[in-house]
Structure 1
Amino acid sequence: MRRNKKDTAETILKLQEIARQHFTIHGYADCSLEEIAKTAEVTRGAVYHHFGSKKGLFKAVLELVQREVAQRLEEEAALSEDQWEQLYLGCRAFVTVAIEPENRRIMLIDGPAVLGWEEWRLMDEQQSMRLLHGQLELMQQQGYLKNVRLDAATHLLSGALNEAALWLAQIANTADASEAMEDCLQTLRRLLDGIR
């Protein structure tokens, strides 16, 4: 029984990793479950069994990507002991990690298009936004923030970060990308200083 659970978990992870590669390279619309199953050396029926549909598989991949992004945000924020620097580093990490090629298409382009904004936002709230809210709450409790409403500050800052990432993703392969990133990070510092 344990071996079956272990095999199942390994198959699910393998399918997610292979699907992630396919979704990254080809995009959701141009991926076929047949190709993903073939690469994973399973039947298409196995994909349906574990994920229900192509959309179900994509959602599982997006959840995986979002968990990895959230983990990297925490790791980046932990590089400093200073609360303000932790907030900045976490926000900076979100923008830079979200636009990495292996994340950009799944998280920023296909994610909202395939799942719809409402479901995509809910998933975002459960990962990156949850971390942002937690950091802001901790900082407010320790007297680092002006008297701002945490939900409002979290949504405004998260919205700004998502929009920045979407914008940077659109221009990622242009001559303006590096300068735009620098401008974005400088502006982020100024925005954060506004609630200090």
Structure 2
Amino acid sequence: MRSNRERTESTRRALLQAARSLFVLKGYGGTSTPEIATAAAITRGALYHHFSDKQDLFRQVLEAEAAAVRDDILAAARPGLSAQAALIAGAEAYLHSMTMPGRTRLLLIEGPATLGAEQALAIDQANAGSTLREGLVEALGMKDVDCDALARLLSAAFDRAALEIDAGADAVEVENAMVWLLRKSLA
């Protein structure tokens, strides 16, 4: 017999998984809440019990995706690595993590289009963006560069690289170019 908490978590998980699949397949605009509820095998009322609206559900899907990317970066940039080695390991982990089917579309296309650039950027800054900034601060120390500005520029380059890979570019070539760019930024 499952507790109320276990049932609640199971329902939330089912909704998030169903919503993610549909948002990847059809985009935010092409997905309806009745479709999500049906795919999750729950009622629309239950959906609205857990999420205030479709945009709230979408935001939480994005937050989960962004957190998964951050976790992959942190796992790769393990303690004991030099700051530069950790940044490079994190860069490679970011690009690899973004190859999860649908992730690039959700985080880099649907997210900004649905939530707006400011909210999508805030989600990134709370996750992968913060790991990049922190790594740059540690690696560059007191060099004569604004680490916040550099982090934003490199983040945009990483996002563009993920889009290139998603569009069919050679992943190894793109990753090599990004690692080269990162090394040059740290020199």
TM surpasses 0.5:
yes
Tell me which residue corresponds to 1:28.
28
Describe how 1:97-176 pairs up with structure 2 within 5 A.
97-141=97-141, 146-169=143-166, 171-172=167-168
Tell me which residue corresponds to 2:175.
185
Amino acid in structure 1 at the alignment position of 2:164 = W
TM-score if structure 2 supplies the norm length?
0.87
Q: Alpha-carbon deviation of 1:56?
A: 1.3
Q: Alpha-carbon deviation of 1:140?
A: 3.5
Q: Alpha-carbon deviation of 1:79?
A: 8.7
Distance 1:189 1:131 in 2: 16
Distance 1:33 1:193 in 2: 45
Structure 1 contact 98–104 (Cα < 8 Å) conserved:
yes
CA RMSD, aligned part only?
2.2
User: Which structure 1 segments of 5+ residues have no match?
Assistant: none
Structure 1 contact 16–61 (Cα < 8 Å) conserved:
yes
Structure 1 contact 98–108 (Cα < 8 Å) conserved:
no
Count of equivalent residues:
185
Change (3 A) 1:99 1:113: farther
Aligned residues with identical type, % of pairs: 33
Distance 2:165 2:140 in 1: 30
Deviations 1:11-64 (A, max 9, x none): 212211221122222222222211221222211111122111111111111111
Q: Alpha-carbon deviation of 1:76?
A: 1.9
The more displaced of 147-156 and 67-76 is 147-156
Tell me which residue corresponds to 1:95.
95
Q: Alpha-carbon deviation of 1:97?
A: 1.8
Distance 2:102 2:75 in 1: 19
SS in 1 for 2:29: coil
Distance 1:161 1:104 in 2: 11
User: Which structure 2 segments of 5+ residues have no match?
Assistant: none
Q: Alpha-carbon deviation of 1:71?
A: 0.5
